[in-house]
Amino acid sequence: MTTFEVTNQIQGLTTEEIEERLKKGQSNEVQSQTSRAYRRIIFENVFTFINIVLFILGIALVLIGRPFDALISVGVLIFNSLIGAIQEIRAKQTLENIQLLYQPKAIVVRDGEEKEISPTEIVLDDILKVGPGDQVLVDGPVVGSGVMNVDESQLTGESDLIRKEAGDQLYSGSFCVTGSGYYRAEKVGDDSFANQLAAQARESRRVLTPLQKQIDVVIRVILLIVIFLEFLIIANDVVRAATLPEEVEHATIIASVVPTTLLLTIAIAYGVGAVRVARFGALAQQANAMEAMSNIDLLCMDKTGTLTTNQFRIHALHPIGIKEEEFSRILGVLAASEQVQNKTTKALAATYPFEARQFVTEVPFSSALKWSAVSFDDADFHGIYALGAVEMLRPYLGNAGDEDSPTWQAIEEQVDEWSGQGLRVLIAAHHPDPQLLVDQGDDSRLPYDMLPLGLISLEDELREDVQEILSTFTENGVQLKVISGDSPETVAALAKQVGFDEDIKLVSGLELEQMDDAQLAEAAESGTIFGRITPQQKERLVDALRDKGHYVAMMGDGVNDVLSLKKASLGIAMQSGSQATRSVADIVLIQDSFSSLAPAVAEGQRIVNGMQDVLRLYLSRISITIVLILAAMVIGVFPVSLRQRPLFTTFTVAIPAILLALWARPGAQPKGSSLGRELLHFIVPPTITSAAIGLVLFYGLLDLRFDQAGITVTGDILTAGAEVILMAQTSLVTFLTITGLLLIIFAEPPTEWWVGADEFSGDWRPTILAGVMFIVYLLAITVPIVRPYFEVVLIPWQEWVLVIVASLIWLFTTRYMWRRRTIERFLGIDVGD
């Protein structure tokens, strides 16, 4: 370690010393934290459990001589993965562009000269210059005679300024607010405090939403059923001595039950949702982030920089002995004239804009003094004007500061009133002699007979629309908690401003330190405001809340929020927050707009509602197919061929599912509703009626036509009655297509008559879609060049009459079962109202 002899002239490193450190790898080069690497995004989107299963299925189809069907299976996999990857890559690129906007520059002293370089070019033992507004880029002690006040809220969550002078440690991620000086790069790269705290942000996090978990379970169950059916069909074919082509076709039909296009529908719904919400200022880094928004039942927030803009605004003035107009003029001139600006003077200048005056002496604000002062020698603006904390300026107020003074009693009464509201209170004072002010740093003193001019109350500036948005969350049953590094009382006062109840429970970090895991879990559940909380405590609180069964969203902006954002079910970051926070978040609020949360919740609800309709259609089709397969194993003739099945599933499920997902409306699910019960209510009636009526139609037509043709339904009927079988299969496929399209109408009832399977919708688009799909289906089975591909034939008018009659029977029977809740009554259980 180089030993520095600090003198008035700081020389910094030489060129040789810099090259030596670069060779040793002692630079500030760190792994990019903007977001995940491209390869990881692609890997996580491609190598999911379901994608691996589909890929294996595709290989199996190639091996058994079905390359076209394999192409469909793997094609869906590729397209699904591409949609998710493209969305997340776009989010990554957007964040990288944001990072360029926020990229700070470093001013270093090298060979006795100041130079501007990129932060990544800093090396160990570099001397860096820092001034008001500058970010501290690496860790290290202050060197030289400089004194500054630093904001470490991004690291600790505490908004109070910290005084730093020679020998005091500066931490990367903090900001210099007032003063200036130099510091030595003692810890660079991954060794710096901010990078160590944010190291976990580089690790991948992918949390499955409840909907994703349910779909994952559904697909796994379907896979188990498919495997079981494959064993049964193989055994059946062996007993029947089926030919190899028959065995291959039967096995492939069963394998096709796996809903490959369901994943594609989900990917499209997620992608469109992310695009929609991006218009409102919410950037989704995870494909499922929008859907996750609709599931949260508990929202945790940081205070500084999240609920607030980290700026002050003037709440009120209380002049003493002068008019308010004159008091505001004094404050405006004072704020405009001070060279060293802070959040207080910025708020005053914004509220009371006046031109700056030439001053004689300035004593900048410091955390040690807790006041600032400026002296003027103008004819109409003469003397010393001081502004600071009431308790720090009281000793300089002479008789006005005495306990029994009426002036002090009035001051104290007003201070107590404002402090009780959680406001920051300052006092302004004046002395007529400008020559008595001397800047001696933290040893500066004021005359002891200053005259109080008035009190100023300031409040944290809330982000736009924050109160309205949080009220919306509360109305929807979402619990709100604030977890901050500030004092619990300060946080509580702010929380009440945004609509929190008066009886909120406060918990401090010191109290949490004394608790074991069980006690902390209880405090996390019962507490509302958590103050003086460390980053590690934030993480433990979020973890405890998730263990309690909550779906937790965490909002933050600083490096101190990284751990808790990663632990949450959903992480939300501000654009203006730290790079590490943006990196780990699932959603980034562009322009720090709270108002984009409402569209994000609505979009999440839209996705959930749309996917419920999609799941109903898919599982209805799958259930009917499984019943038909079981019937074929008993009777011996497959009702639907491999090429016929895509014909009715495409028009009744695959295409409509995508559009239903896009057309879905926002709206929270009823409390206590269960997706499993809703699916059971929707699926069982049409499965029973479709399978029963369809099988009677199919085997009835076979028996009728075989009898008319003099064919006995024994032996090799596949050869003897191939045309009859195709006709019966085409009739069944037509019946299943018609009933499948009617299911779409029942899923989104356009009128009260169609209400039974779901609540009244009033949306005619799904009904029109069903009509269009039926017309397209008719074209597919009538166009000569298309029919051979789908293995269908033109059916006589008599068959059409039977198909229509069967469809009408299905329509009224299924509607009756839904409305009367026949299945629920039969099972003797309540299956969701």
Report how far apart, in Å, the C-alpha atoms of 604 and of each of 206, 287, 391, 601, 673 are.
17, 11, 51, 5, 17
- Pairwise pLDDT comparison (197 vs 681), residue with the higher score: 681
Is 765 contained in some domain?
yes
Is 480 contained in some domain?
yes
Last residue of a domain, one of 598, 619, 646: 598
Q: Alpha helix locations (H) across 585-674?
A: 597-635, 645-649, 655-663
Cα-Cα-Cα-Cα dihedral of 437, 440, 443, 445, to 10°? 0
Tokens read off for 150: 């630093």
SS3 259: coil
Is 247 contained in some domain?
no
Tokens read off for 713: 């339904």
587 closest CA partner among 284, 814, 307: 284
Please say whether the beta carbons of 573 and 585 come within 8 A.
yes
Q: Which residues contact 753 (CB under 8 A, 6 or more apart)?
A: none
Q: Total structural domains in the chain?
A: 3
- Pairwise pLDDT comparison (579 vs 743), residue with the higher score: 743
747 closest CA partner among 659, 639, 628: 659
Distance of CA 269 to the CA centre of its chain: 16
Q: Is the pLDDT score of 324 beyond 80? A: yes
Which H or E run contains 764?
Answer: none
> Which of 188-202, 504-518, 577-591 has the least mean pLDDT?
188-202
Cα-Cα-Cα-Cα dihedral of 799, 803, 805, 811, to 10°? 180
Last residue of a domain, one of 431, 462, 493: 462
Please say whether the beta carbons of 603 and 666 come within 8 A.
yes
pLDDT at 99: 56
Taking the C-alpha atoms of residue 485 and residue 580, their distance in angstroms, rounded to an integer, is: 18
pLDDT at 75: 66
Instruction: Note down the domain range covering 750.
Output: 265-273+601-827
Q: Which residues contact 576 (CB under 8 A, 6 or more apart)?
A: 102, 305, 557, 592
Q: Over range 339-346, report the average pLDDT.
A: 81
CATH of the domain at 646: 1.20.1110.10
Tokens read off for 452: 């109080």
Please say whether the beta carbons of 701 and 802 come within 8 A.
yes
pLDDT classification of 236: cutoffs 50, 70, 90: confident
pLDDT at 382: 92
Residues 330 and 424 grouped into a single domain:
yes
Q: Over range 190-203, report the average pLDDT.
A: 65
Return the top range by mean pLDDT from 93-97, 101-105, 159-163, 339-343: 339-343
Residues 324 and 300 grouped into a single domain:
no
239 closest CA partner among 791, 613, 633, 533: 633
Is 98 contained in some domain?
no
pLDDT at 375: 96
Structure confidence by residue, pLDDT tens digits, 444-489: 999 999 999 999 999 888 887 888 888 888 888 899 999 988 778 8
Tokens read off for 140: 């290290």
What is residue 758's DSSP assignment?
S
Is 15 contained in some domain?
no
Taking the C-alpha atoms of residue 620 and residue 371, their distance in angstroms, rounded to an integer, is: 73
Strand bridging mode 570-574 / 552-556:
parallel
pLDDT at 368: 74
Taking the C-alpha atoms of residue 166 and residue 528, their distance in angstroms, rounded to an integer, is: 40
Taking the C-alpha atoms of residue 393 and residue 370, their distance in angstroms, rounded to an integer, is: 9
pLDDT at 720: 45
Tokens read off for 187: 């810890």
Residues 484 and 425 grouped into a single domain:
no
DSSP 804-819: HHHHHHHHHHHHHHHH
Residues 639 and 690 grouped into a single domain:
yes
Q: Which residues contact 649 (CB under 8 A, 6 or more apart)?
A: 621
> Which of 81-95, 423-437, 573-587, 683-697 has the least mean pLDDT?
81-95
Structure confidence by residue, pLDDT tens digits, 487-524: 788 788 888 888 888 888 999 988 999 999 999 999 99
Beta bridge partners of 4: none
CATH of the domain at 540: 3.40.50.1000
Taking the C-alpha atoms of residue 746 and residue 742, their distance in angstroms, rounded to an integer, is: 6
Structure confidence by residue, pLDDT tens digits, 272-307: 788 788 888 888 888 788 888 888 999 999 887 778
Residues 560 and 440 grouped into a single domain:
no
Is 557 contained in some domain?
yes
Is 185 contained in some domain?
no
Report how far apart, in Å, the C-alpha atoms of 139 and of each of 111, 127, 167, 189, 453 are.
21, 11, 12, 10, 42
pLDDT at 675: 58
pLDDT at 804: 96
Residues 619 and 706 grouped into a single domain:
yes
Name the one residue in this structure whose structure tokens are 């001696």: 440
Taking the C-alpha atoms of residue 371 and residue 426, their distance in angstroms, rounded to an integer, is: 9
Residues 589 and 544 grouped into a single domain:
yes
pLDDT at 7: 40
Q: Alpha helix locations (H) across 103-209?
A: 153-156, 193-197
pLDDT at 833: 46
What is residue 830's DSSP assignment?
-
pLDDT classification of 715: cutoffs 50, 70, 90: very low
Taking the C-alpha atoms of residue 753 and residue 746, their distance in angstroms, rounded to an integer, is: 10
Name the one residue in this structure whose structure tokens are 């302004």: 428
Q: Is the pLDDT score of 663 beyond 70? A: yes
Q: What share of the chain is helix, strand, coil (3-state, %, to 5)?
A: 55, 15, 30
Please say whether the beta carbons of 576 and 305 come within 8 A.
yes
The string over 341-359, giving b where at least 16 C-beta atoms fall within 10 Å of a residue's C-beta and e elsewhere, is bbbbbebbbebbebeeeeb
Is 159 contained in some domain?
no
pLDDT at 175: 81
Q: What is the 3-state secondary structure (H, E, C) of 487-508?
A: CHHHHHHHHHHCCCCCCCCEEE
Taking the C-alpha atoms of residue 82 and residue 377, their distance in angstroms, rounded to an integer, is: 70
Structure confidence by residue, pLDDT tens digits, 108-160: 999 888 898 888 889 999 999 998 778 888 999 999 888 888 878 777 666 66
Tokens read off for 599: 């569209």
pLDDT classification of 96: cutoffs 50, 70, 90: low
Residues 401 and 502 grouped into a single domain:
no
719 closest CA partner among 254, 243, 234, 64: 243
Strand bridging mode 552-556 / 298-301:
parallel
Please say whether the beta carbons of 599 and 282 come within 8 A.
yes
Within a 13 Å sphere around the CA of 724, how many CA atoms are in the beta-carbon half? 21
pLDDT at 488: 84
CATH of the domain at 389: 3.40.1110.10
Report how far apart, in Å, the C-alpha atoms of 274 and of each of 262, 270, 307, 666, 728 are.
19, 6, 24, 15, 46
Which H or E run contains 314?
Answer: strand 308-319
Structure confidence by residue, pLDDT tens digits, 204-233: 556 778 888 888 888 888 888 888 887 877
Residues 457 and 506 grouped into a single domain:
no
pLDDT at 252: 66
Residues 654 and 734 grouped into a single domain:
yes
Taking the C-alpha atoms of residue 179 and residue 162, their distance in angstroms, rounded to an integer, is: 12
Q: Is the pLDDT score of 31 beyond 60? A: no
Report how far apart, in Å, the C-alpha atoms of 759 and of each of 284, 673, 745, 810 are.
31, 13, 12, 20
Residue 404 — φ and ψ, nearest 5°?
-95, 5
Taking the C-alpha atoms of residue 255 and residue 264, their distance in angstroms, rounded to an integer, is: 18
- Pairwise pLDDT comparison (430 vs 84), residue with the higher score: 430
Residues 633 and 618 grouped into a single domain:
yes
Q: Is the pLDDT score of 717 beyond 50? A: no
Residue 47 buriedness (CB in 10 A; 0-12 / 13-18 / 19+): exposed
Dmax (CA) for the chain in angstroms is: 124
Last residue of a domain, one of 598, 615, 646: 598
- The amino acid at residue 280 is F
Beta bridge partners of 446: none
- Pairwise pLDDT comparison (348 vs 467), residue with the higher score: 348
pLDDT at 678: 72
Taking the C-alpha atoms of residue 121 and residue 108, their distance in angstroms, rounded to an integer, is: 10
Instruction: Report the share of the chain in percent with pLDDT over 90.
Output: 30
pLDDT at 503: 81
What is residue 666's DSSP assignment?
P
Taking the C-alpha atoms of residue 299 and residue 482, their distance in angstroms, rounded to an integer, is: 8
Structure confidence by residue, pLDDT tens digits, 357-396: 999 999 888 767 889 999 999 988 999 999 999 999 999 9
Q: Is the pLDDT score of 243 beyond 70? A: no
Please say whether the beta carbons of 799 and 727 come within 8 A.
yes
> Which of 109-118, 332-341, 663-672 has the least mean pLDDT?
663-672
Residues 433 and 520 grouped into a single domain:
no
Structure confidence by residue, pLDDT tens digits, 748-797: 999 999 998 888 888 999 999 999 999 999 998 888 888 887 778 888 88
DSSP 61-94: HHHTT-HHHHHHHHHHHHHHHHHHHHHHHHHHHH
pLDDT classification of 3: cutoffs 50, 70, 90: very low
